[in-house]
């Protein structure tokens, strides 16, 4: 299962990064509250509907784990500790190429609560929970022939991630995995796996 694979990867990564921590480990910062913004790409999850065909011969697919992840939030750093907490609200969407005769998309608004543990100045590991609100597949025009209009309820998802500050103390690069599912409100028994992996760039205002 993805949850077990993510947990195993996180434990292995923590053990590897632990060797980089020496007797001169950084002094944890004083307590602080910092807003942040993030933008990234995610990949994975079940396909939604059928392959979307375009008049030029190209095609595309919508997935329950894709594609563009936008977020805003705040981080609290615990005084005298490598521990920190994050709360964020996001907009997560996979969409077809815009066309005059139709479109299709899968949109949701995830709320995440995460905790992180700093290994050193450049790396930290973390995880937490996620709830995707107002999940909905929408289509118009010819797009309705490929993707049905449908609303979903999400499970409480699990997030595991590693973040590096190699570029700047204010710029984080997250590599993450998420395990979550969606149940249709319109089609009894229909369920989608929205699990995905992703890379997200984050700017911290601190």
pLDDT in tens, 148-174: 999 999 999 999 999 999 999 999 999
Mean pLDDT score, 177-205: 98
When mean pLDDT is compared across 46-55, 65-74, 83-92, 179-188, the lowest value belongs to 46-55
Question: Confidence band (pLDDT; 50, 70, 90) for 56?
Answer: confident
The CA distance from 67 to 149, in Å, is 19
When mean pLDDT is compared across 97-106, 122-131, 142-151, 158-167, the lowest value belongs to 97-106
DSSP string, 166-182: EEETTEEEEEEEEE-EE
Cα–Cα distance list, 65 to 85, 90, 99, 198 (Å):
24, 14, 23, 9
pLDDT in tens, 35-45: 999 999 999 99
pLDDT given for residue 98 in this prediction? 64
The CA distance from 104 to 65, in Å, is 15
Domains of the chain: 2-17+34-204 (2.40.160.20)
The CA distance from 34 to 75, in Å, is 5
């Amino acid at each position: 299962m993805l949850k077990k694979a993510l947990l195993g990867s996180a434990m292995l990564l923590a053990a590897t990064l632990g060797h980089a921590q020496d007797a001169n480990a950084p002094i944890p910062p004083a307590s602080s509250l910092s807003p942040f913004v993030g933008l990234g790409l995610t990949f994975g999850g079940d396909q939604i509907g059928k392959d979307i065909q375009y008049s030029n011969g190209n095609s595309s697919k919508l997935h329950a784990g894709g594609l563009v992840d936008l977020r805003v939030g705040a981080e609290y750093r615990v005084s005298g500790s490598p521990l920190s907490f994050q709360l964020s609200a996001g907009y997560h969407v996979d969409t077809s190429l815009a066309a005059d005769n139709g479109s299709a998309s899968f949109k949701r608004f995830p709320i995440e609560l995460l905790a992180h543990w700093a290994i050193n100045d450049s790396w930290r590991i973390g995880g937490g929970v996620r709830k995707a609100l107002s999940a909905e597949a929408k289509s118009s025009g010819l797009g309705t022939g490929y993707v049905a209009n449908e609303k979903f309820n999400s499970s409480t998802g699990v997030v595991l991630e590693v973040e590096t500050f190699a570029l700047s103390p204010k710029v984080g690069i997250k590599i993450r995995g998420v395990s979550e599912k969606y149940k249709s409100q319109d089609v009894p028994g229909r369920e989608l796996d929205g699990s995905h992996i992703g890379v997200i760039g984050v700017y911290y205002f601190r």
